[in-house]
A and B are shown apart, each in its own frame.
Chain A
Amino acid sequence: MNDDARDAVARAHRAEWARVVASLTRRFGDLDIAEEAAAEAFATAVRRWPADGVPPNPGAWLTTTANRKAIDRIRREGKRDGKHQEALMVHDDDPPEPAGAIDDDRLRLIFTCCHPALAVQTRVALTLRLVGGLTVPEIARAHLVRETAMEQRITRAKAKIKAARIPCRVPSAEDLPARVSGVLAVLYLIFNEGYLATGPGTGPLRHDLTAEAIRLTRLTRALLPGDGEATGLLALMLLTEARRAARVSAGGELVTLAEQDRGAWDQALIAEGHRLVRERLAAAAAGDAPGRYQILAAINAVHTSARDMRDTDWTQILALYDRLVRVDPSPIVALNRAIAVAELDGPEVALAAVDRLEDALSGYHAYHATRADLLRRLGRSRQSRAAYDKAIELAGNAAETAYLTRRRDQLR
């Protein structure tokens, strides 16, 4: 295939996949048919565009082609009665939908993929497949599961959506806040799966997950412009992603925020993240109370504004954590708040706060890693070593284990 046509298919795939699947889902009321017909349409583009040239409106070409493929399949399977088939034929060459309606289709599709009646891991997989357009083998590799297992998970989910009649629509006003936060939770999970990359066999595709999560969050934010948390989540992802290159050393060791080479941070992502955070700060000043993602984004904005660790405005960070505790009183938030307390009031005060979390967090490696660091700063080497041992035992990530091991071995 010539490069121009290949690029055009790749671009169309990124830009149009969700639109094609979503409009077919609305028209045929069947995710399975929509997904398969969309995949066939893109496969046809791969074959035809190099020879025939790239059509002037690739999106319309793909939608029309996918519609024909769907009708072919329905005819072939004879699943529909004659009357329904006839109705489908009449609409065969529908003009493309106006942009507004298509956007609504994609939003409906996102809500269906992130439906609370589906298991969380299933929501992630369905969103990556139907909205993100990743292939089943790609999703399977990213989640370190076998292709057949991922295929089954997605097939079962589509069957449940059909059999239980999970609707493809924007939820009613009373359900909307909870459902939007469910969608954002799925997107954040996709991002973290790419960013935290646990397990020894973490290939480059897991890093693609962060890019995909950012892309899907941009889309969700564009579709829900009034939702401050969607903006907050996008800002949080951008400000986290900006630090990726500095986060792991050349030797594969995790580099903490304090030791990162801030010159390696991505300034373009930081600038965009800061702009979004300022947008939300203005909204907060106008009385729109910020949620969890907006506060986390603001915390990351403070970190990414500092030239080095000492330059960090810890008073501001602690104030933001105090707000976050009110929105999300989880022990993990309390643990992160204690890290800010250590910078302001010293490691002894912070250690007392961390020790109060033992019952809730004794199985969590970051709890022990935080304790180990505070004990080290207090010169309590023996206890620090024991805490590092525990953290190493619980850590699931090779880069983090390498960092903790070096820190432990540096203790005197």
Chain B
Amino acid sequence: MRYLISVIDDKDDPGSTDRQPAVSAFNERLIAEGHWVFAGGLADTDTATVVDSRGERTLFSDGPFVESKEYLAGVWVWEAPDLDVALRLAAEASRICDRKIEVRPFQ
């Protein structure tokens, strides 16, 4: 079973910025235990571009599709046998990243 793990940061109350070494070590463990599928941190929301081709013309617009205090700062994709395993890892991940985590299953 695959889960999307979203790391959520808060513009008014950002998590600490010194977490990279701990996150790297955690990734090593995810790989060793067979949970790791993908991981990536995201650039600032201001760098996003929204593309909409639903109409006749393709529209490009600057910025995130929704402005909010809380935003997606990075993602993991994990392989886990069930939600209990994913939640236990996510509890550790939240501590390690110093940020909130959302766990959502793939279809």
Contact status B84-A175, CB under 8 Å: yes
Which chain B residues in 63-89 approach chain A with CB under 8 Å?
Answer: 81-84, 87-88
Q: How many A-B residue pairs have CB under 8 A?
A: 27
Select the stretch in A36-44, A164-172, A323-331, A389-397 that faces chain B.
A164-172
Contact status A166-B83, CB under 8 Å: yes
Q: Residue A333 at the B interface, CB < 8 A?
A: no
Question: Which of B83, B87, B88 counts the most chain A CB atoms within 10 A?
Answer: B83
Q: How many residues on chain B are close to A (CB under 8 Å)? A: 11
Contact status B88-A165, CB under 8 Å: no
Question: Which of B1, B81, B84, B105 counts the most chain A CB atoms within 10 A?
Answer: B84
How far apart sit A113 and B81, CA to CA, in the bound complex (Å)?
19
B83 to chain A, nearest CB (A): 5
B23 to chain A, nearest CB (A): 23
Contact status A163-B84, CB under 8 Å: no
Contacts of B107 in A (CB 8 A): 163
Contacts of A171 in B (CB 8 A): 84
Contact of B1 among A165, A172, A175 (CB under 8 A): A165
How far apart sit A167 and B88, CA to CA, in the bound complex (Å)?
13
Question: Which of A163, A172, A174 counts the most chain B CB atoms within 10 A?
Answer: A163
Contacts of B104 in A (CB 8 A): 164
How far apart sit A117 and B104, CA to CA, in the bound complex (Å)?
11
Contacts of A175 in B (CB 8 A): 84, 88
B12 to chain A, nearest CB (A): 24
Residue of B with least CB distance to A116: B87
Contact of B82 among A116, A166, A174 (CB under 8 A): A166
Contact status A163-B105, CB under 8 Å: yes
Interface SS of B by simple majority: mixed
A152 to chain B, nearest CB (A): 20
Contacts of B103 in A (CB 8 A): 164
How far apart sit A167 and B81, CA to CA, in the bound complex (Å)?
9
How far apart sit A116 and B103, CA to CA, in the bound complex (Å)?
13
How far apart sit A166 and B107, CA to CA, in the bound complex (Å)?
14
Residue of B with least CB distance to A161: B83
Assuming the contacts A165-B1, A166-B82, A167-B82, asked whether A117 and B87 have C-beta atoms less than 8 A apart, the reply is yes
How far apart sit A165 and B87, CA to CA, in the bound complex (Å)?
11
Contacts of A167 in B (CB 8 A): 81-84
Assuming the contacts A163-B107, A164-B105, A165-B105, asked whether A117 and B88 have C-beta atoms less than 8 A apart, the reply is no
Residue of B with least CB distance to A162: B105
How far apart sit A22 and B81, CA to CA, in the bound complex (Å)?
21
How far apart sit A167 and B84, CA to CA, in the bound complex (Å)?
7
Contacts of B88 in A (CB 8 A): 174-175
Assuming the contacts A163-B105, A163-B107, asked whether A172 and B83 have C-beta atoms less than 8 A apart, the reply is no
A167 to chain B, nearest CB (A): 4
Contacts of A115 in B (CB 8 A): 83
Contacts of B82 in A (CB 8 A): 165-167
Question: Which of A115, A165, A171, A174 counts the most chain B CB atoms within 10 A?
Answer: A165
A173 to chain B, nearest CB (A): 12
How far apart sit A166 and B1, CA to CA, in the bound complex (Å)?
11
How far apart sit A157 and B81, CA to CA, in the bound complex (Å)?
20
Q: Mark A189-217, 1 if CB is under 8 A from B, else 0.
A: 00000000000000000000000000000
How far apart sit A44 and B103, CA to CA, in the bound complex (Å)?
41
How far apart sit A405 and B76, CA to CA, in the bound complex (Å)?
58
Contact status B83-A164, CB under 8 Å: yes
How far apart sit A319 and B82, CA to CA, in the bound complex (Å)?
45
Residue of B with least CB distance to A172: B84
Contacts of A117 in B (CB 8 A): 83, 87
B2 to chain A, nearest CB (A): 10
Q: Mark B81-107, 1 if CB is under 8 A from A, else 0.
A: 111100110000000000000011101
Which chain A residues in 261-311 approach chain B with CB under 8 Å?
Answer: none
Residue of B with least CB distance to A163: B105
Contacts of A166 in B (CB 8 A): 82-84
A199 to chain B, nearest CB (A): 34
How far apart sit A171 and B88, CA to CA, in the bound complex (Å)?
11
CB pairs A–B below 8 angstroms (21 shown): A115-B83, A116-B87, A163-B105, A163-B107, A164-B83, A164-B103, A164-B104, A164-B105, A165-B81, A165-B82, A165-B105, A166-B82, A166-B83, A166-B84, A167-B82, A167-B83, A167-B84, A171-B84, A172-B84, A174-B88, A175-B84
Closest 7 CB pairs of A and B: A167-B82, A164-B105, A165-B82, A166-B83, A164-B83, A165-B1, A165-B83
Residues of B participating in the A interface, judged by any CB pair closer than 8 Å = 1, 81-84, 87-88, 103-105, 107
Residues of A participating in the B interface, judged by any CB pair closer than 8 Å = 115-117, 163-167, 171-172, 174-175
For the complex with contacts A165-B82, A175-B88, 8 further pairs of A-B residues with Cβ separation under 8 Å are: A116-B87, A117-B83, A163-B105, A164-B83, A164-B105, A165-B81, A165-B105, A167-B82
